[in-house]
Amino acid sequence: MSTSSRSMRGSVVFVAQVIPPPLCSPCFFPHTQISQWYELVIFTASLEIYGAGVADHLDNGRHILQRRYYRQHCLYESGSYSKNLSLISPDLSSIFILDNSPGAYRSYPDNAIPIRSWFSDSSDTALLCLLPVLDALRFVTDVRSILSRNLHRDPTAIG
């Protein structure tokens, strides 16, 4: 991530589901705005050979998706892959994960913001609807104090 005078507050594990490049548009995701608030981290259960290309496509040369974790960084338990957020930082007070799969954050429910899966629907506004929440979280001391009361537990309610 390039250095700047702005103060970064924590990290957000950003990609909810890896979509093949022909189906997704980098313009659809408001990660340029979000990257001004947080360090964006890609953490996907996809294989690196596939996920890296998708992450490159989403980043689109902006250099805002530089930290990336793939399947080899996940834990395999109970028949699915879960994401070990402590790899990003041992201090989880400033880490949250935005994901469509509850199994992916089963060990970190108080750091999670569930979101619906996205399947190339140009009218989907789930991520845009979360912008006020993401904006507000950057001002709290511990994101878990808010997300543990998570009103978004049902991903069908977002968007």
Domains of the chain with CATH codes: 11-157 (3.40.50.1000)
Question: Could you tell me which residues come within 8 angstroms of residue 78 by beta carbon, excluding any fewer than 6 positions away?
Answer: 103, 106
Task: Give me the pLDDT at residue 144, please.
Answer: 93
Average pLDDT, consecutive stretches of 10 residues, N- to C-terminus, the chain (159 residues): 35 39 44 79 91 87 89 92 92 90 91 81 76 88 88 51
- Greatest Cα-to-Cα distance within the chain, rounded to the nearest angstrom: 44
Task: Give me the pLDDT at residue 7, please.
Answer: 37
User: Would the pTM of this model clear 0.85, i.e. be above it?
Assistant: no
Task: Give me the pLDDT at residue 16, please.
Answer: 31
